[in-house]
Amino acid sequence: MQERIALTGNEAMALALKQINPDVVAAYPITPATEIVQLFSSYAANGMVKTEFVAVESEHSALSAVLGASAAGARALTATSSQGLAYMFEVLYIAASYRLPLVMPVVNRALSGPINIHGDHSDSMGVRDAGWIQIYAEDTQEAYDNLIQAVRIAEDPAVQLPVMVCIDGFIISHALENLEIMADEKVQEFVGPFTPRRPSLLDLDHPVTVGPLALFDYYMEIKRGQAEAMRKAKPVIKEVGQEYGRWSGRKYSFLEPYQLAEAEIAVVVLSSTAGTTRVVVDELRQQGIRAGLLKPRVYRPFPQQEIKAALGHLKAIAVLDRADSFDGFGGPLYKDIRAALYEVPDRPRIINYIFGLGGRDVGLDDIRSVYDDLAQVAAGEAPEFSIRYLGVREEAL
Amino acid sequence: MAAQLLEIRWHGRGGQGAKTAAQLLAEAAAAAGKFIQGFPEYGPERMGAPVQAFTRISDRPIWLHCQITEPGIVVVLDPTLLRRGDITRGLRQEGLILINSDQQPSVIKRALDQNYRVCTVDASRIAKETIGRAIPNTPLLGALIRVAEIIPLERLLAETERKLARRFADRPEIVSGNLVAVRRAYEEVEDG
Amino acid sequence: MSKLLPWREVPSAGWLEEKGNAEEYETGDWRTIKPIWLKEHCIQCLRCFVYCPDSAITAENGRVTGVDYKHCKGCGICAHECPSKPKALEMVAESADEL
């Protein structure tokens, strides 16, 4: 039923976009996300999709255009990276607050400066509290699968929130990998026709005011409603992940544990590095070391209960952040995971590494060194520390 | 091929098609039912600058998402890159080097002063005679799958045709030239 | 001012699906001076109707009928623009006992 092919992460995202066949795509090119919309624009130009493709002059305009299209009752998408996402900053909050079911691939790339084109999470982590759902993919297969599911999650009547589908720049976006794809009709059937949940901006018989002024009287009630939508997204993400499993054979949820149930020490890491870590876990298991891995797939909404249940039994945990908070305390994922474990009696020791900034390679030896540190922390032979910078050059002692 | 992971590093110059070769081999192996990765190293390189690209091939799903630091095979698209001295960096003890060169493998072996298995093929000449331009990537693929026994020749030819036919839809002579180049390099590669 | 709704009853994202609801927001108490319409001086040019930023000049069948004091903020634009001599709109102080 499914075809196994080889595509880069960007090609897989462009293919999913084509199969979703949205009403409107507006985008501005930025490395390493350019290829997604470049490929898609050729599909549009060649009449392979029914999409109205709008070439805009900036990312601020790209998101504004799809925001307007969505408010007018269209299924609308864009894609970006790094500085482009930063340039969208104010519109991101508006899209979430207006409860518009936009979907946006984000090809994770370091923020300037120094200027850098390679993969890290500083862009999407910088907007983790903008009110968007955030899903992180490990490989091209997940990039494809997550993008298709994102449409259903965003458009669910209980959710109506925008979704970012994140992949690691270059490491996944430009790497050719195997993946299984569904037929166009199956994807169309899975995402279903777009059903606007409110009268459209262009419906003259039912005029509507979008984005009215709300001050002391209503601002907080509207934000409270937005927060509720994010909570309601949780069961929807789970259901969509299960239903997608029935369609594709690949089931998804909030977290992907590996060798975790019987583990004493574990690494928590998002995206592509989870794969490299899994290889090290296998090595360590062969040596009789009870090592495990937890890969969060959904970061917003934050799956606090699930994380507590998955990690509570461990002796020591290392959280790997591909973005720094520059606050002297730790990366964003570390602090969230640490907070999630606060209620666990006899909670695990927890340490933090900042890694892979600006695309710095993270090899097997780097991950092995993390598990070595963890074993010492778990045994009480080394102190629990907050931040270590993995793979950064230090002076010889 | 053994069930273990095969890691290949490609050294070329910007414009010689190292990235295309790395990905074409991966695609051909994928078509043969293998699990693959193919990825270039991106930097500020332009035409002529030394570049690298990578291919992983395995019978099992590949989880690794790091660079290849200890390749089993190194393919060199331009013999002048031998001067740089980083060609053999990390290459495994039993490793194989395939070089685009008009020299015999023994000559290269002496120059490298290391005990690797060295194979040579005059890919630039073959490309010039068959495609009309000295783009050595497709003939090197033909040589590589022979000496490393990665996939059958017919599979590589089919995949090369499929991929190039899309890109050169209006110039069928380029497609057929490449196919001849692959076949000739497969025949002419010298195994030291 | 209407009763403030609890958050669950607020339209999602604050989208207002009811048309013309600006009328519900009464701004008459912003006024410290008010226009008096003098029918006998009015030449029915409708300039005041066009210029009023709050649609507070009332009209029927193409003829001015007066001022909507629930919404008039007392800006005085109508009186300023009135071309009639003497003017058909005159600004006077708002007296405390009228409110």
Domains and CATH numbers, chain C: 27-98 (3.30.70.20)
- pLDDT interval class at B45 (50, 70, 90): low
CATH, domain range A3-248: 3.40.50.970
Taking an 8 Å cut-off on Cβ atoms, the answer to whether C17 and A206 are in contact is: yes
Section C17-34 average pLDDT: 88
- pLDDT interval class at C18 (50, 70, 90): confident
Who among A97, A99, A209 is closest to C16 (CB)? A209
Summarised one tens digit per residue, pLDDT across range C29-58 is: 999 999 999 999 999 999 999 999 999 999
Better-scored residue on pLDDT, C92 or B111: C92
The residue behind tokens 């166009």 is A184
Better-scored residue on pLDDT, B93 or A231: A231
Chain A residues within 8 A of B37 when measuring between CB atoms: 175-177
Summarised one tens digit per residue, pLDDT across range C66-99 is: 999 999 999 999 999 999 999 999 999 987 655 4
Q: Evaluate if residue B18 carries a pLDDT over 70.
A: yes
The angle at the Cα of A40, spanning A111 to A165, to the nearest 5 degrees, equals 45
CA distance B27 to chain A (A): 6
Section A7-23 average pLDDT: 98
Give Cα A252 to chain centroid, integer Å.
Answer: 13
From the candidate CATH numbers 3.40.920.10, 3.40.50.300, 3.90.470.20, 3.90.550.10, the one assigned to the domain spanning B6-191: 3.40.920.10
Q: Which of A232-236, B37-41, B109-113 has the lowest mean pLDDT?
A: B109-113
The complex's ipTM?
A: 0.92
Taking an 8 Å cut-off on Cβ atoms, the answer to whether B30 and A279 are in contact is: no
Nearest CA in chain A to C1: A217
Q: Evaluate if residue A385 carries a pLDDT over 90.
A: no
What residues contact residue B45 under an 8 Å CB cut-off, 6+ apart? B14, B51
Taking an 8 Å cut-off on Cβ atoms, the answer to whether A174 and B40 are in contact is: yes
Question: Which residues of chain A are in CATH 3.40.50.920 domains?
Answer: 255-389
Nearest to A224 by CA among C7, C15, C5: C7
pLDDT confidence of residue A135: 98
Give Cα A224 to chain centroid, integer Å.
Answer: 24
Nearest to A103 by CA among A154, A34, A157, A173: A154
Who among C4, C10, C19 is closest to A207 (CB)? C19
Nearest CA in chain C to A214: C14
Task: Describe the strand order of the beta sheet including A133-136 as a list of residue ranges.
Answer: A52-55, A24-27, A76-77, A103-108, A163-168, A133-136, A298-300
Who among A99, A206, A207 is closest to C13 (CB)? A99
pLDDT confidence of residue A176: 97
Subunits next to A (3 or more Cβ pairs <8 Å) are B, C
Nearest CA in chain C to A158: C12
Chain B residues within 8 A of A138 when measuring between CB atoms: 65
Nearest to A200 by CA among A33, A340, A68: A68
What residues contact residue A294 under an 8 Å CB cut-off, 6+ apart? A255, A256, A257, A258, A260, A266, A267, A268, A307, A310, A311
CA distance C64 to chain A (A): 28
Cβ contact C–B (≥3 pairs, < 8 Å): no
Residue A377: helix, strand or coil by DSSP? helix
Domain A255-389 has CATH 3.30.2350.10: no
Chain A residues within 8 A of C2 when measuring between CB atoms: none
The residue behind tokens 């994770």 is A108
What whole-number distance in Å separates Cα of residue A154 and Cα of residue A196? Answer: 12
pLDDT confidence of residue C99: 47
